[in-house]
Amino acid sequence: MRWPKLERRKAALVAARDLRDAISELRLIAAMVALTLAIPIASGSGVRALATFGGGTSVVNRLALVGAFFVVFIPASFSLVLALESFVGERERTTLEVLLSTPLREAEIYAGKVAAVLSVSLALCYGGLIVYCLLTFPGLGYFPLGILLALALSTFCQVAAMVAGAVIISLNARTMRAANVMASFIILPMSVVLQVEAALILLGRAEFLWGFALLMTIVAIVLVRMGFNGFSREALLAREVGLKNPFGRALDAVRASFAMRPTFFRLVWMRRIPMLIAAAGFPVGAWIGYLAGSTNVIPAVVLRPVLSSLVRSTGDGGGVEQALTIFGHNLLAFVLVALLAIVTVGVSGFLLTFAPGFILGFAAALSSWSIALTGIVPNGFVEIPAAIIAGGLAIQVGAAAIHMDARGGWSARVLAALADYVRALRWLVPALAVAAVLEVFLG
């Protein structure tokens, strides 16, 4: 993985100007500082009051952690606004065009702008966190340094991810109005991320939070790299023509994505690496499922109802009805995997083989491998290869979604990957039908 070349002095020039611009709006900066100070003071005072007036130790400790999360969350959300203003706002006011006409490399402009937004947002986040810690923890007899550091790292990554997301938006939005609408694509996944983080903080386990912070680091690196690759003069200046008849152009793009695609067998060969990854999902899932079942990490009482409901969902009717139900379930899974491939960056494709493998391994842990395997024979001989092919193609869709190129063409690449998936369904859907018949009448 190569990062673009850049001269730090030039990037620092851009960063210094942007920073100056960001803090020159006095009302905005006053509001941000007030929030950054008011929230930690209020939260810290609340926790201390609870400790003073007899709150139980475990409740106070847990609340102290939730307060820390609350304190960094609000300033972190400013980063999206600042980043949109820095990238899309400059594009709208045409100041970016002037900057692009200078000898500065794209990477220097990008790095400078990202550094400026990160500086403001992180100064507010960490400033608030320090104020909160100074107010809350002295004398409390509890200072979860590991959890606070993990929270600080994941906040850094969340801010970086939001800023990188804003850059990707800036490549597709010419106005702040359009950018604000498109910001939902960042806000919605981010809200899910924050809910997960809040749940982990409530659990109070530092190792979970470190795992989460590591995951966020990977996401942030992927997004920042996407921004680096996509932030190009060509992408920012060349797309200002051809805006007429957007629906017609969209239809043409979809049509074009189906043209000149490889045949099914050639496609399988071309996508052998993602398909190998998908194929690995099944044994990996089976192994992890077996471990989860045998070590009781996930108690059988939790998973057994899930397995029972899966069996019940095939229906009590005749063989044809059961076969149709199984076929319908599998087809729905295949369609959902493709739809979710873009937002999950292909993880849904991996889960298509991992999840059945996990269930098989878990069932084997509860009974034995021979009994568990009888559940997937003989239909598995058709169903599993179909899932591997579909999973591999979905992973390819995810890979296309995170691949940005200076020459643009993101939509064309994602549409082509989706077109491959749709074309492959011509083979996969009959395979699923055969598997359903085998499962009901020979299984």
Partner 1 sequence: MLEVDNLAKRYGDVLALEDLTVRVEGGKCLVLLGRNGAGKTTALRCMAGVLPPTAGTVKVDGIDAADDPAAVRARVGLMPEVPGLYERMSARDYLDYFGAIYDIEPGLRKRRISELLELFELADAGDRWLGTFSKGMRQKVALIRATLHRPRLVLADEPTSALDPDSARRAWDYLNYLKSDGCALVICTHSMEEAEHLAGDIGIMSAGRALAVGNMAALRRRSGLKKRKQVRELPTLQDIYLAIVGNHYALAETRTA
Q: Which is nearer to partner 1, 203 or 256 (CB)?
A: 256
Q: Which is nearer to partner 1, 244 or 426 (CB)?
A: 244
DSSP string, 240-300: GS--S-HHHHHHHHHHHHHTTPPPHHHHHHHTHHHHHHHHHHHHHHHHHHHHHHHTTSS-H
| Alpha-carbon torsion (179, 180, 185, 187), positive or negative | positive
Q: Which is nearer to partner 1, 237 or 371 (CB)?
A: 237
Contact (CB, 8 A) for 354 and 285? yes
- In angstroms, what CA-CA distances link 219 with 194, 216, 233? 14, 5, 25
Q: Which is nearer to partner 1, 28 or 214 (CB)?
A: 28
Please give the Cα distance from 191 to 74 (Å, whole number). 12
Q: Which is nearer to partner 1, 97 or 434 (CB)?
A: 97
Please give the Cα distance from 194 to 219 (Å, whole number). 14
Q: Which is nearer to partner 1, 218 or 237 (CB)?
A: 237
For residue 249, the minimal CB distance to partner 1 (Å) is 8
Contact (CB, 8 A) for 117 and 82? yes
Q: Which is nearer to partner 1, 103 or 139 (CB)?
A: 103
Q: Which is nearer to partner 1, 17 or 423 (CB)?
A: 17
Residue 88 is classified by DSSP as: I
Q: Alpha helix (H) ranges present in 295-368?
A: 300-312, 319-341, 347-366
For residue 325, the minimal CB distance to partner 1 (Å) is 46
Shortest CA distance to 86 belongs to which of 180, 36, 19?
19
Please give the Cα distance from 319 to 297 (Å, whole number). 37
Residues that bind partner 1 (CB under 8 A): 10, 13, 17, 20-21, 24-25, 93-98, 100-105, 233-234, 237-242
CA atoms within 13 A on the CB side of 109: 24
Amino acid identity at 203: L
For residue 413, the minimal CB distance to partner 1 (Å) is 14
Contact (CB, 8 A) for 289 and 357? yes
For residue 319, the minimal CB distance to partner 1 (Å) is 53
For residue 96, the minimal CB distance to partner 1 (Å) is 8
For residue 101, the minimal CB distance to partner 1 (Å) is 4
For residue 180, the minimal CB distance to partner 1 (Å) is 20
For residue 258, the minimal CB distance to partner 1 (Å) is 17
